[in-house]
Amino acid sequence: MLLEKIKKIYKSDKFPIYVYVLILAIVHITVKLERDDIWFSTCCQNTTFIDYMINRYQTWSSRVVIETCFVVFCEFLPLYIWKILNIAMFYLLAYSISELFIEKDKRKYNTIMCILLLCIPLSILKDAGWVATMNCYLWTAATGLYAIIPLKKIAQNQKITVLQAITYFLAIIYATNQEQAAGILFIIYTLGIIYLLKLKKIKIRKTQVVIFINYLMILLWLILILTCPGNANRKIQEEAQWFPGFSNLSIFYKVTICITSMMNYMIEDVRILFFILIVVLAYRIYKNKDEYNFIQKIIGYSPLLLIALYKYVYMIFDVTGVQEALQSKIFTLFRVAMYILILISIGLSLIVIFKKQKCIIPILIYFCGIVSRLVMAVSPTIFASGERTSTFMYLSFVVLEILLLKDMEVKKWENSKKQILQ
């Protein structure tokens, strides 16, 4: 009986996800409270929990749900309970991506997805402490993706049970308490509801009303984020501590340093997920080169070529020992220009590859991923927050790479079919 169950698990489409979760479970054995976690473990020693949360809302943050979890897990519960729930969130993350973007060959693409997810450095998800960082980024990403599933179910005329509707609503409550996730979900839900009602003209049934309840919750959280006195107070304190004079900078300069810091992580620190995306884009164009004209081929290859050019110029200055040139205004302008061109060329490549209506979802994913990081341009912690603010962007790369690989598989099948018919 036990052997049969093991065989069933092994043959399951979710087996790669189980392995992924097992790997992360092993990592969690050595996890302990660090940095901000330690601070949250003592924050209610001289006050009540309710008074602390009220004060926190008034003086520091609108993340009342997320920060409640910080305090509960760091101060009031054994750490192993958080570990179990955190491992479950990694499962929810992989499960949600699979449900949203993988329909066929699930075992194969689940394997690819899990390998790609393992390419996200765990170090960025413990940057401010395991609990503080994971709950703010992993948990909001996992619950946010899960909360998008009802939009797909309705579009495909699938049933939503009462229990599922409740879990989607709970997921949206948690996810939208974080600013980046709230912005992403606002964009996706707005476009998703317009698509369902105006373009597909779908009649919403009883349990499908959850999407409107979720949308209302997104709007309420956005209002709370924008009106919370603690957010304004925190910005003043963080500017004084981390980036004096930040508010006096022009929006152009803020966006520039945001792009530079973002791309430095990806190019200078060589983030594998980013380079996989660039290579897959170029390979997709090469693999089906007969479909594209000269201009389209140049666009498809341009992200890879631009990065190669940038690294070549940088290497020349570095090898020749002209370190002053790397710090000059001219090279800084060159760097920023190259970074912007690379980002634009990736978007254009997606349009060329997916074509017409098929490119809408990939472009939306890419746009949400990049914008989720660019919103840091309004925060004086643009450098202090580190790479953890790129979590949503890296997840968008994972999804895009899956979509590109799936598209190559479809093209391969279509080409084989044409050859057989000929």
| Residue pLDDT, tens place only, 237-282 | 988 888 898 888 888 888 889 999 999 889 988 899 999 999 999 9
pLDDT band at 312, cuts 50/70/90? Answer: confident
In this prediction, residues 225-231 reach a mean pLDDT of 91
Predicted local distance difference test score (pLDDT) of residue 321: 61
Whether the Cβ atoms of residue 96 and residue 149 lie closer than 8 Å to each other: yes
User: Cα separation of 291 and 24, whole Å?
Assistant: 42
Predicted local distance difference test score (pLDDT) of residue 3: 78
Predicted local distance difference test score (pLDDT) of residue 339: 93
Predicted local distance difference test score (pLDDT) of residue 327: 67
| Of 81 and 269, the one with more pLDDT | 81
Predicted local distance difference test score (pLDDT) of residue 305: 94
Predicted local distance difference test score (pLDDT) of residue 413: 56
Mean pLDDT of the residues in the chain: 89
For tokens 């401010």, what's the residue? 128
Q: Write down the pTM of the prediction.
A: 0.92
Per-residue pLDDT at 411 exceeds 80: no
Q: Cα 50 vs. chain centroid, distance in angstroms?
A: 32
For tokens 């992580």, what's the residue? 265
Per-residue pLDDT at 421 exceeds 80: no
- Residue closest to 330 by CA, chosen among 317, 349, 344: 317
pLDDT band at 418, cuts 50/70/90? Answer: low
- Residue closest to 396 by CA, chosen among 205, 127, 187, 219: 187
Per-residue pLDDT at 322 exceeds 70: no
Domains of the chain: which residue ranges?
A: 1-238, 243-422
User: Cα separation of 166 and 210, whole Å?
Assistant: 8
